Amino acid sequence: MIRHLAAALGFLAVAALTHVAIILGLPLLAMHIAMGALAREDAASRFRAEPQDPAAVHALVSPNPDLTHAVCSFDVQARAVRIAATLPPGMWSLSLYAANTDNYLIISEDQVTDGALEVIIYGSNYRGTFPATSIALQSPSRQGVAVLRVIAGAGAIAPAMAEALGRAICEPYTPAP
């Protein structure tokens, strides 16, 4: 009797642990795979527009002919990260994702002046200052992903927008002395 009860409890404990591990682990695994793909695409701490390996983007977003992406993975443990771009008129957005896939920031063209975007993301150990013109915020996780999206419209992205996307910056931030 006791042996059967112990077996049932053991079965339930393993089932519960497996269930919780799958639910909590899926988002972390998905982002881990995406960041690994971005690292292979040389998109760690730099924006990469139109990666050569579609899997690098597909791990993050579903393929969509309406959108053009530039993607960058970053780590704020050692240094803050600066994201900057100057985008021509058009529909675009910058989304920041934490390691658990939470979309903790979204900025679109309506929220900046003259298409000038500057965001600084820092870790909990950061003690420096930021330029008054930038948007600064603490990353909820050590690692994360930035996705700059342009809604192409009419099937083709404007050359000026494509060029601006290619010039977008995602780099370690150096505070002014």
Partner 1 sequence: MARPGTMAIIAGGMLAGLITAAAALWWVAEGASLRHGPWRSSLFPGVVDLDPYSRAVVALRGAAALHHADAVYFIATEDETGAALSPRCDYRLDGRDLPARWWSIHLGNQDLALTSGGKSVDRGSVVRGADGAYTIHVGPTRRDGNWLATGGVDGAFSIHVHLYRPETAAMLDRGGPALPRLVREGCAS
Residues lying near partner 1 in the complex (CB under 8 A) are found at 7, 10-24, 26-27, 29-31, 33-34, 59-66, 71, 91, 93, 95, 97, 100-104, 106, 108, 145, 147, 149, 151, 153-155
> Are the C-beta atoms of residues 163 and 50 closer than 8 Å to each other?
no
Helix ranges (DSSP H) in the chain: 2-40, 54-58, 159-167
- We find the least distance from the C-beta atom of residue 177 to partner 1, in angstroms, to be 35
CA distance 134 to 110: 15
CA distance 21 to 11: 15
- We find the least distance from the C-beta atom of residue 111 to partner 1, in angstroms, to be 11
With respect to partner 1, which residue has the nearer C-beta, 58 or 129? 58
With respect to partner 1, which residue has the nearer C-beta, 93 or 134? 93
- We find the least distance from the C-beta atom of residue 159 to partner 1, in angstroms, to be 17
Sign of CA dihedral 107, 119, 112, 58: negative
- We find the least distance from the C-beta atom of residue 174 to partner 1, in angstroms, to be 27
